[in-house]
Structure 1
């Protein structure tokens, strides 16, 4: 009994010594929340987190601070100056993604969003060139968006001005835009495969956040053998890749390499061109992962932005009416709207920018990883350190915005009412890893919103004075489910 007591006491002493040694070796990192033995600061994730939690930590610890996940330091950059310095001055040094245990299991190191090195450079180059090509022509991206906007207007019209939850119609329409771009066709809402794809996407996104995810990154050797939502997320990732591979096989059967119509056609053409190149990373595994990522990135963020947009318009009828008047005065109701029209609609353009600033869709920016030792904000950050540029803190930086905590379209207007670009407006990131789908997202949000506003006045249901302002926190930040009335602006 005395031997066991001695061994336990010895173990406690050794753990304390190990902890103190760890604290000593980590003292050159920026300050941050309390780091506990074994788990670091993941105790933060065990409690309810507000959408501005990292901003609050920035106020407490400064514009650069460290959150420890187990023994892994994550350095967070807060505010415009720190984030801009990192993403623009050190773009190449921060062009890698962290290869964490869970993300590696999820993506197998393939695709664009979370890959690195030669694979990332080749896949991203293909993505940039192909998305540009798919944006052109009569069947280009804008045409697909206009078609889906028309479908969405029809769905809203069927509600006949009665309260409806806009989430599902918006999600289906936005997802069908990326389906048309990637697969060359849209899906019926009743399609079981499509529904399974949407279910998989939603679950994966919710799994990339919270205590279980942090625990997997800290103790992967244990979590791999335990049941839980992490296992379900990995299974759903396989389902998404299988869905992509089924579509790839269909394209092979009806191959049109000389006249590619969608992303899969272009990728198959690229594979054919590169088949004798030993350095090529163009293969079906990378293609399937790219498709999964484009579907997730092209669906959830834009869906969330549009949900917040209608939420804000219904809550601010004066702003909504002013937008509608500008659209009617400048374009009228007889002509179709195109993306170039935004130049003629400064107020509408300003409101859309302010929506994305005020209700930023991501919890924070996608993490980067140092490719070499860096000096950031006065601290020497070692090679391999994970860096989180908190884009939310940039969009709410009180030193850069006149009224950061208010929904104020004047942030993007000059004294003459003309639209003004702001360097602080960084919802899509910056540098080498700037969002691949940025242009597509801009086109979608503009055409969807203007199409809806021409047709409907969005109002709160009778008896509802205000909507729940709190956000649901996940990989992306969505509003709580809500209902509104899409009241037709005229009987025709």
Structure 2
């Protein structure tokens, strides 16, 4: 018998039960998400991942390094979380060393997440992989070495820049100031000299804006907005939010770099390259047949940007932490100054040759880097093949986060991991000793490109600052030791004071 009109209407009405239909859709999507994104078989354990959100609600992205370290207490030194895709987090010195050093060949790649790919265009020397990455890194290291990195000739550039910084600080006559932009400008001028062939005045508004944009971008890079974007790039690319701000910032920075490159193209002499940009432009001409090597003007823009990040941000952030720790522990500041006065005096500037004779100063600087924890989660890696770490096999193509925070504060490696203690780097005779768990520049084949430059800058700037000034807080204030979490872990914005020492020599 044919269905009556009343029966059809009733059936049609049930299909129009919108709440029931929505529940059906939600349940269906949850089941699909669970089937598609459940933790892979034999994968490292970890917290329960929710549908769609994964473990994003388990992590406070304003202190992600602390939450990652805490999760290791529950799930072990090798565990997994779902933040968009599945990620393995490595914790503790032994585990991180096993992965990055002993099995470094299997973890030399970077993950190609949507946001990074859109910003970099698969260019640069930090986020690329394979032949292109190896060629770009080799060229950058060789070129910077030719222009003085690791050599005494660069010492003079650093010390000359300190003279400019010293004048800026001296002219304040002890008045409170925020060291952020001033320190960034001073350190960035070193990489500017190598890349651009010139420095920028501290009063240069355009360059100051670039420094502020860098700071903002490095905070946004690790925000929850970046993770959500990588989870749903198609949708997020259409929506407003901080992720759009991040893309605009990097495009503004790249435009600034393009202006410098265009100027180099106009006034350079190919026979006498003055800096990294000149050398790179020559390399473009030499490698037109080797397209896979990636030498192009657009790659030059991205490589130049990467050099700025590698060669300035971590160093300037470390120096800002250094001033705060010297203020917090004035007795340590006095002891550093006494050693500098005894070894160097006030009649000349420090040099790298002094380092061996300044064991306490060197130990203090290393302890600042350790407890400052400048790059708390390193930069992510990706497995190039199945890798066994401890009892776990990490499949090929898995994103891996080396949690350097867990290394710098590993209770099995440091006598007093959560206390500022220069004795971590001194033996019983007071001589400086290296510590195997000290890896602020990461480790393995992806160790920081600017490590040798940073080491020289840190020592010369720090000893020069301690030789010339005593740092304190404004009357009645205490240093704020809280952090701002991003790719780098930077101090909170605050005012400090600097007083000239031994004024009879100035």
Q: TM-score range by the shorter chain?
A: over 0.9
For residues 139-178 of structure 1, what are the structure 2 equivalents within 5 Å?
140-178=153-191
Cα deviation 1:439-467 (Å, max 9, x = unaligned): 11111111111111111111222212x32
Match of 2:474 among 437, 457, 461: 461
For residues 242-261 of structure 1, what are the structure 2 equivalents within 5 Å?
242-261=255-274
**Aligned residues between the structures:** 490
Report the counterpart of residue 443 of structure 1 in structure 2. Answer: 456
Write the distance in 2 (CA, Å) between the matches of 1:350 and 1:137. 20
Report the counterpart of residue 105 of structure 2 in structure 1. Answer: 92
The yes-or-no answer on 1:82 pairing with 2:111 is: no
More deviation, 440-449/475-484 = 475-484
Write the distance in 2 (CA, Å) between the matches of 1:185 and 1:139. 19
Contact 2:196 2:275 in 1 (8 A): yes
The yes-or-no answer on 1:204 pairing with 2:217 is: yes
The yes-or-no answer on 1:273 pairing with 2:286 is: yes
Report the counterpart of residue 66 of structure 2 in structure 1. Answer: 52
The yes-or-no answer on 1:372 pairing with 2:409 is: no
1:80–1:284 distance in 2 versus 1, CA, 3 Å? same
1:463–1:261 distance in 2 versus 1, CA, 3 Å? same
The yes-or-no answer on 1:389 pairing with 2:402 is: yes
SS state at 2:70 partner: helix
Cα deviation 1:405-446 (Å, max 9, x = unaligned): 000000000110111011111111111101000011111111
Match of 1:297 among 306, 310, 318: 310
Task: Tell me how far 1:487 sits from its aligned partner.
Answer: 1.2
1:12–1:484 distance in 2 versus 1, CA, 3 Å? closer
More deviation, 310-319/46-55 = 46-55
Write the distance in 1 (CA, Å) between the matches of 2:46 and 2:195. 43
Task: Tell me how far 1:26 sits from its aligned partner.
Answer: 2.6
Write the distance in 1 (CA, Å) between the matches of 2:62 and 2:151. 48
For residues 17-32 of structure 1, what are the structure 2 equivalents within 5 Å?
17-22=31-36, 26-32=40-46
Task: Tell me how far 1:279 sits from its aligned partner.
Answer: 4.1
Write the distance in 2 (CA, Å) between the matches of 1:84 and 1:268. 38
More deviation, 454-463/431-440 = 454-463
SS state at 1:486 partner: strand
SS state at 1:92 partner: helix
Write the distance in 2 (CA, Å) between the matches of 1:479 and 1:416. 33
The yes-or-no answer on 1:486 pairing with 2:501 is: no
Report the counterpart of residue 7 of structure 1 in structure 2. Answer: 21
1:20–1:115 distance in 2 versus 1, CA, 3 Å? closer
Greater radius of gyration (CA): 2
SS state at 1:164 partner: coil
1:428–1:302 distance in 2 versus 1, CA, 3 Å? same
Task: Tell me how far 1:25 sits from its aligned partner.
Answer: 5.2
Task: Tell me how far 1:473 sits from its aligned partner.
Answer: 1.2
1:134–1:410 distance in 2 versus 1, CA, 3 Å? same
In structure 2, runs of 5+ residues without a counterpart are 1-12
For residues 389-428 of structure 1, what are the structure 2 equivalents within 5 Å?
389-428=402-441
Report the counterpart of residue 472 of structure 1 in structure 2. Answer: 484
1:94–1:230 distance in 2 versus 1, CA, 3 Å? same
For residues 182-221 of structure 1, what are the structure 2 equivalents within 5 Å?
182-221=195-234
Contact 1:45 1:211 in 2 (8 A): no
Contact 1:97 1:369 in 2 (8 A): yes
Write the distance in 1 (CA, Å) between the matches of 2:184 and 2:429. 37
Contact 1:51 1:477 in 2 (8 A): no
Report the counterpart of residue 67 of structure 1 in structure 2. Answer: 81
Contact 2:185 2:208 in 1 (8 A): no
Task: Tell me how far 1:400 sits from its aligned partner.
Answer: 0.6
Task: Tell me how far 1:10 sits from its aligned partner.
Answer: 3.3
Match of 1:121 among 119, 127, 134: 134
Task: Tell me how far 1:51 sits from its aligned partner.
Answer: 4.8
SS state at 1:93 partner: helix
Task: Tell me how far 1:6 sits from its aligned partner.
Answer: 4.8
SS state at 1:387 partner: strand
1:379–1:256 distance in 2 versus 1, CA, 3 Å? same
SS state at 1:458 partner: strand
Task: Tell me how far 1:9 sits from its aligned partner.
Answer: 4.2
Task: Tell me how far 1:296 sits from its aligned partner.
Answer: 2.4
Task: Tell me how far 1:146 sits from its aligned partner.
Answer: 1.1
More deviation, 260-269/78-87 = 260-269
Task: Tell me how far 1:245 sits from its aligned partner.
Answer: 1.9
TM-score, reference length from structure 1:
0.95
Task: Tell me how far 1:44 sits from its aligned partner.
Answer: 3.3
Q: CA RMSD in A?
A: 1.9
Contact 2:484 2:492 in 1 (8 A): yes
Write the distance in 2 (CA, Å) between the matches of 1:436 and 1:136. 11
Write the distance in 2 (CA, Å) between the matches of 1:169 and 1:195. 9
Contact 1:161 1:485 in 2 (8 A): yes
More deviation, 135-144/469-478 = 135-144
Task: Tell me how far 1:46 sits from its aligned partner.
Answer: 5.6
In structure 1, runs of 5+ residues without a counterpart are none
